[in-house]
Amino acid sequence: MSEFGIVYAIHIITVQFGSVVSKVCECLLRKGPLSSRDISRLAESDINHNKVKDILYLLIQHNCVQAFSIEPPDGSESKAIVQYIVLFNNILHRVRYNKFSRIVNEQLDSKCGAVLDGLLSNGRLTLGQFIERDRDSGNTIGSEAIRDSLQKLVAARFVERIPSPEPVLGNKEKEPAKRRGAKAAKILKEPETLEEQVVEAATPVDAIRFPLIFEEDSNSSLADDNSNITEGKRKQRDVDTSDSSSGVIWRPNFEEFIHRLRHKACVEIVKERRDEGCAIVLRAMLEVGRSQEKKVKTDNSAPMSVGSIYEEVIKTEAGRTMLQERVEACLDQLSATSSYLPAFVNEVNDSYIVDYKSIISVAQKDEIEAVVMRRYGKEAFRMFRYLSQEGRFVETDKIADAALTEKKDTPQFLLKMWKDGYLHMQKLAVTAPGMYTPFLLWKVNKLIVTTQMLDEMYHASLNLSLRLAHELEAEKELLLLPLDKLEGPLKERLKKVKAKRLLLSSTMFKLDDAIMLFHDF
């Protein structure tokens, strides 16, 4: 997490839960996992221990914090201490609730959207709480509609059962596990961060996570996919699915929403860089391979045949006009490479694999280059693009020749980008008897650039949110007045306020798309 990423997350919590809750959240963001006692001691406020526990329960209810413990070392008589870790990604997702609702309304229906909205507002609910909430609302849809909608949401994996309340992580001081072969090591990668380890340990198997799916069709392929569940977990699943579903606690499955948004972004990138036909074919490929993708940040899809792709293409209205020959031509286009575009699809043994990493990298490159163009001008943009394509250290004069810029001006542009962290510089010198010739080499370090871009976007989102809050606060009295009582100058002033609010909100919406491109996809 970068500095402005932390500040932006604290701002989101402050706006939605208040400054006291944000103090606890800030403590976890800056200090890392802590026990409730440590939080009450370290939080920059006189919050007593009981108040800290109440705040932690609130943040857990809204899926912003996860409790866990670490197994004590062998032979130790000490008890495992419960610690709390902040879920940074879930905090960022809180500004994306409108996007999530739109997906459900478009892909399912408005009743499912209403059920999801209740879950997004409350964090976690049982079926009974859904029905009670609906009964108290002015626009009731009925208990049967709620039950059916929840079933649809779980079947589509937009909603999941809550994770384990307090998973126990293995102690790293224990004996290392048996050595695996190189191939197995690549497949069974350990999660990179402690947050990922905690989330993975808390996540139940799919049979428990999406139980209504298995009640609906116990002989389905989904059930078969879980044939390797241990006997203990299988018994637990049978108990869980036999219980009344009204006692199960549900929450939004953010992973699935980000998964869908990633697919949508990939289709839009291909449509812009290739054509409508290629976008239709790619969308079909994503549908074919969706069930086999276990993680959002998957580099490549599973292999798929032309036949399976064509079967999916003709399911859509736009795809019914396409013959298989046209689909094969689109696959050839998607597999082609050029000096500016990588292959979006790889052909392997008469099967096709979507290269997500290449598609996303093209959009990331466009975003970075657009920033360089706005900030440093056309000459610097050409230099940056050339260095990005080269992917290695290049000498100053060669950059000037390739970018068609004056050699005397080139170092100034390069130094500006270097000072702002967009370039990596290396000083070398050629020495000989009586001669010393220094020269500079330059290179784009993509990891550093993307990290810096992301931090700048967090900063920009924070500023936009603060500006919007300021504008609304300044015109609070005007916005509360009835519309029928506004005339003349007041009416015009209200129009300007609404236009400004719309502009700031839409800019934040687009900026969040860019944040997802670098952080979530």
Backbone angles phi, psi at 65, to 5 degrees: -140, 145
Q: Calculate ∠ Cα 57-61-63, nearest 5°.
A: 115
For residue 88, give the nearest of 122, 65, 59, 115 by alpha carbon: 65
Continuous segment of H or E residues that includes residue 432: strand 424-432
More confident residue, 436 or 68: 68
The answer to whether 327 and 342 have CB atoms below 8 angstroms apart is no
CB 14 within 8 A of CB 23: no
* 409/247 Cα distance (integer angstroms): 70
pTM reported for the whole predicted model:
0.84
Whether the pLDDT of residue 236 is over 60: the answer is no
Same topology between domain 3-88 and domain 254-360: yes
Packing angle between helix 276-289 and helix 324-335, nearest 10 degrees? Answer: 90
**How far, CA to CA in Å, does 201 sit from each of 163, 190, 520?**
9, 12, 20
Nearest to 63 by CA among 197, 163, 167: 163
pLDDT higher than 80, residue 242:
no
Predicted confidence (pLDDT) per residue in 328-381, tens digit: 999 999 999 887 889 999 999 889 999 999 999 999 999 999 999 999 999 999
Report, as an integer, the average pLDDT of 160-165.
94
CATH architecture, domain 254-360: Orthogonal Bundle (1.10)
Say yes or no: domain 377-444 is CATH 3.40.50.300. Answer: no
Query: 10 Å Cβ neighbour count for 232?
Result: 8
Task: Residue 260: name the closest of 61, 414, 105, 436 by CA.
Answer: 105
pLDDT tens per residue across span 394-423:
999 899 999 888 888 899 999 999 998 889
pLDDT at 241: 41
Rounded CA-CA distance 262/268 in Å is 10
* Residue 249 to residue 166: CA distance in whole angstroms: 15
Nearest residue to 41 via CA among 23, 21, 60 = 23
**Taking 90 as the threshold, does the pLDDT of residue 261 lie above it?**
yes
pLDDT at position 15 over 90: yes
pLDDT at residue 328 in the model:
94
Q: Given this model, what pLDDT does residue 190 score?
A: 47
Whether 55 has a pLDDT exceeding 70, the answer reads yes
Task: Classify domain 3-88 by CATH number.
Answer: 1.10.10.10
Q: Is 139 exposed, middle or buried (0-12, 13-18, 19+ CB in 10 A)?
A: exposed
For the segment 26-54, the average pLDDT, to the nearest whole number, is: 89
Contact 380, 417 (CB under 8 A): yes
- Which amino acid is residue 288, in one-letter code? V
> Domain boundaries in the chain?
3-88, 95-168, 254-360, 377-444, 448-520
Q: Can you give 225-258 as a three-state secondary structure string?
A: HCCCCCHHHHHHHHHHHHCCHHHCEEEECHHHHH
Q: Where are the beta strands (DSSP E) in 303-397?
A: 345-348, 351-354, 394-395
- The predicted pLDDT at position 182 comes to 46
Closest CA to 104 of 162, 155, 161, 153: 153
- Got the DSSP string for 94-130? GGGHHHHHHHHHHHS-HHHHHHHHHHHHHS-EEHHHH
Q: Are 301 and 346 in contact (CB under 8 A)?
A: no
Tokens 């994996």 locate to 157
Helix 110-122 to helix 97-107 angle (10° resolution) is 150
For the chain, report the end-to-end CA distance as a whole number of angstroms.
Answer: 16
Give whole-number Cα distances, 305 to 270, 285, 331, 353, 382, in Å. Answer: 20, 10, 11, 9, 40
CA distance 40 to 62: 20
Reference 454, options 356, 368, 393; nearest CA is 368
Strands 65-70 and 125-126, bridge-based pairing: unpaired
Whether the CB-CB separation of 119 and 253 falls below 8 Å is answered with: no
Residues with Cβ within 8 Å of 190's Cβ and at least 6 positions away in sequence, in order, are 197
Structure tokens at 210: 């999406």
Give 453-510 pLDDT, tens digit per residue.
Answer: 999 999 999 999 999 999 888 888 887 778 777 777 888 888 888 899 999 999 999 9
- By DSSP bridging, strand 125-126 and strand 159-161 are unpaired
DSSP 462: H
Give the pLDDT band of residue 441 (cuts 50, 70, 90). Answer: very high
> What contacts 129, CB < 8 A, 6 or more positions away?
122
Q: What is the mean pLDDT of the chain?
A: 86
> Which one, of 207, 205, 229, lies nearest residue 218 by Cα?
207
Q: Which of 517, 518, 513 is nearest to 96 (CA)?
A: 513
